[in-house]
Amino acid sequence: MDKIILKNLQFYGYHGLLPEENKLGQRFQVDVDLYADLKKPGETDAMSDSIHYGHAYEVIQQIVEGEPYNLIEAVAEKIANELLRSFTLLSACRIKVIKPDPPIPGHYHSVAVEIYRERSI
């Protein structure tokens, strides 16, 4: 399946279980794969035949920088649902939400969740 890839999107949000996460906020990174048939836009060179990744970015930004959620699982689910609702050409999406600096002790690169959702027929 063809896909449009949005990688390493950077946002600042207030998601987390701990009160300081909701008050102080933290960085979030998001990777998204948008699965759609890209043959027609490849042939027509018309934006109306594809998914505008600038608009997809705005949808993701509004969610990550908007209402706080306790879990990044909920953030990922909200992004997937909103993208599938907003773009009729989208058949499925993979969403990865990354917390580079979660407030946990130890040495690590980051923590993340990744989900895959398909359009229900």
**Catalytic machinery residues:** 99
With a CB cutoff of 8 Å and minimum separation 6, the contacts of 9 are: 29, 30, 31, 32, 57, 60, 61
Pairwise CA distance, residues 12 & 27, whole Å: 5
